């Protein structure tokens, strides 16, 4: 006779080579039968010591390190870091550069969300979406290649502006992309939103209440999926986001399905911002500030003027000095609030740089979300967390 009342907690290992952990995330799961009792994430397999490396590099040299944090949206990371350094100097960014920054950041958000919907759906059994989402992501990466020369780690946003202006082809491609993208989102939603299997796998899974998300510090779509109306683009404006009209999607339910709906709406809202930015962007203009404290002198100047040559040599070889003090800049990255806390001792390199990585903080709520669910739901919960291990391990 089988006794069904036996309760025995055993510990199983998930990852770091598990396909649904999106990298090298190891989860130590205590299960009672199939029910999760406790989940403990074991991270650090990809630790590169970015914060320590930054302490021995000049402010310019840190930019390529930030690319490698959240490698699905490298330009958002560049933007957060550059805005933090610019806070030390109060630099005025040229108009065209501001618009290009918004365009690049929103394109990164779309690309990151597309990878999320593709892999999240793949993990819980909806194979088709993967192919369609990666098709559109490919378009964005092609545009990055045309505009910045790199598909992923482009380091294109620099302190004081962006590296160089975009070619005409970039805007032509972006225009046709924004025109068709809404119908692409319709396509993904047709495959998933009313799909019965998708709903069964996501509704009621990984619940977080509005109180929980603030206590655990989980930002971004996790916060908005739980009914907290918070977006740093509106609530602590940076750049020129106050010039665009868009809505912040909020869902009350707080489960995986609500977060899915928030992210799908964010894709549409990002597309709206892209369209408005393309309309408003000035046709010509500088893309790098002429502030001599941070900007490299232009090549024309360097060839003709001795002072510009010295200045350029000085900034490249030794770096520029930031004033003494501490500052922080957070931006609404695709995964949540990405922030850089910089401590300066008046030298050419940061005394301390702390990266507030959204994926890392969101992982802190994993146990809260997963406890009481089935082991198979853990895959959906890790997927809805949208973890990127480059950012968690830093």
By the criterion CB under 8 A, which residues form the site for other proteins? 43-44, 47, 49, 51-52, 56, 87-88, 211, 214-219, 228-230, 235-236, 325-328, 330, 337, 339, 341, 343, 351-352, 354, 356, 360-361, 363-365, 368, 393-394
What is the DSSP code string of 126-152?
Answer: --HHHHHHHHHHHHHHHHHHHHHS-SS
Residues sharing a CB contact under 8 Å with residue 279, sequence separation 6 or more, in sequence order: none
Give the 3-state secondary structure of 187-246: HHHHHHCCCHHHHHHHCCCCCCCHHHHHHHCCCCHHHHCCCCCCCHHHHCCCCCHHHCCC
How near is the Cβ of 136 to other proteins at its closest, in Å? 32
How near is the Cβ of 228 to other proteins at its closest, in Å? 6
Specify whether the CB–CB gap between 158 and 60 falls below 8 A: yes
The dihedral over CA atoms of 251, 253, 256, 260, expressed in degrees to the nearest 10, equals -20
The radius of gyration computed from the CA coordinates of the chain, to the nearest angstrom, equals: 22
How near is the Cβ of 325 to other proteins at its closest, in Å? 5
By beta-carbon proximity to other proteins, the closer residue of 274 and 342 is 342
* Closest-CA residue to 254 (of 216, 211, 286): 211
How near is the Cβ of 223 to other proteins at its closest, in Å? 8
By beta-carbon proximity to other proteins, the closer residue of 82 and 267 is 82
By beta-carbon proximity to other proteins, the closer residue of 77 and 202 is 77
* Closest-CA residue to 141 (of 133, 207, 378, 280): 133
238 burial class (0-12, 13-18, 19+ CB within 10 angstroms)?
A: buried
How near is the Cβ of 298 to other proteins at its closest, in Å? 28
By beta-carbon proximity to other proteins, the closer residue of 49 and 372 is 49
* Closest-CA residue to 125 (of 388, 386, 377, 371): 377
By beta-carbon proximity to other proteins, the closer residue of 281 and 343 is 343
Tell me how far apart the terminal alpha carbons of the chain are, to the nearest angstrom. 53
Report angle CA 74, 240, 54 to the nearest 5 degrees. 35
By beta-carbon proximity to other proteins, the closer residue of 313 and 328 is 328
How near is the Cβ of 215 to other proteins at its closest, in Å? 5
Q: Residue 175 corresponds to which tokens in the numbers above? A: 């225009």
How near is the Cβ of 249 to other proteins at its closest, in Å? 16
How near is the Cβ of 393 to other proteins at its closest, in Å? 6
By beta-carbon proximity to other proteins, the closer residue of 124 and 208 is 208
Q: How far, in Å, CA of 360 to CA of 387, rounded?
A: 8
By beta-carbon proximity to other proteins, the closer residue of 377 and 393 is 393
Q: How far, in Å, CA of 249 to CA of 255, rounded?
A: 15
Q: How far is CA 337 from the centre of its chain?
A: 8
Q: How far, in Å, CA of 63 to CA of 59, rounded?
A: 7
How near is the Cβ of 232 to other proteins at its closest, in Å? 9
By beta-carbon proximity to other proteins, the closer residue of 213 and 277 is 213
């Amino acid at each position: 006779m089988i006794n069904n009342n036996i309760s025995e907690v055993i510990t199983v290992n998930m990852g770091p080579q598990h396909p649904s952990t999106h990298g090298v995330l190891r989860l130590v799961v205590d299960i009672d039968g199939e029910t999760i009792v406790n989940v403990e994430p074991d991270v650090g397999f990809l630790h590169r010591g970015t914060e320590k490396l930054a302490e021995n590099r000049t402010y310019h040299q840190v930019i390529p390190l930030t690319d490698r944090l959240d490698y699905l949206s490298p330009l958002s990371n560049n933007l957060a870091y550059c805005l933090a350094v610019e806070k030390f100097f109060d630099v005025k960014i040229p108009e065209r550069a501001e618009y290009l920054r918004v365009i690049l950041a929103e394109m990164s958000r779309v690309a990151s969300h597309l990878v999320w919907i593709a892999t999240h759906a793949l993990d819980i059994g909806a194979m088709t979406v993967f192919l369609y989402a990666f098709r559109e992501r490919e378009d964005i990466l092609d545009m990055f290649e045309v505009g910045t020369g790199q598909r992923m780690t482009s380091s294109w946003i620099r302190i004081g502006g962006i590296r160089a202006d975009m070619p005409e082809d970039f805007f032509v491609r972006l225009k046709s992309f924004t025109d068709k993208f809404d119908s692409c989102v319709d396509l993904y939603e047709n495959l998933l939103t009313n799909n019965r299997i998708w709903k069964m796998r996501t509704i009621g899974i990984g619940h977080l209440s509005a109180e929980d998300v603030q206590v655990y510090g989980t930002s971004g779509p996790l916060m908005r999926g739980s009914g907290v109306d918070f977006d740093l683009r509106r609530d602590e404006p940076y750049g020129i986001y106050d010039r665009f009209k868009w809505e912040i999607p909020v869902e009350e339910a707080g489960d995986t399905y609500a977060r899915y709906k928030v992210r799908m709406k964010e894709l549409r809202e990002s597309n709206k911002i892209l369209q408005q930015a393309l309309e408003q962007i000035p046709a010509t203009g500088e893309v790098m500030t002429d502030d001599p404290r941070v900007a490299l002198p232009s090549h024309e100047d360097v060839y003709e003027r001795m002072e510009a040559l010295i200045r350029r040599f000085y900034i490249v070889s030794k770096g520029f000095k930031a004033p003494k003090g501490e500052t922080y800049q957070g931006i609404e990255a695709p995964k949540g609030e990405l922030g850089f806390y910089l401590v300066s001792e008046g030298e050419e390199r940061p005394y301390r740089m702390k990266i507030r990585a959204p994926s890392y903080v969101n992982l802190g709520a994993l146990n809260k979300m997963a406890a009481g669910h089935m082991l198979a739901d853990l895959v959906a919960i890790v997927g809805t967390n949208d973890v990127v291990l480059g950012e968690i391990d830093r």
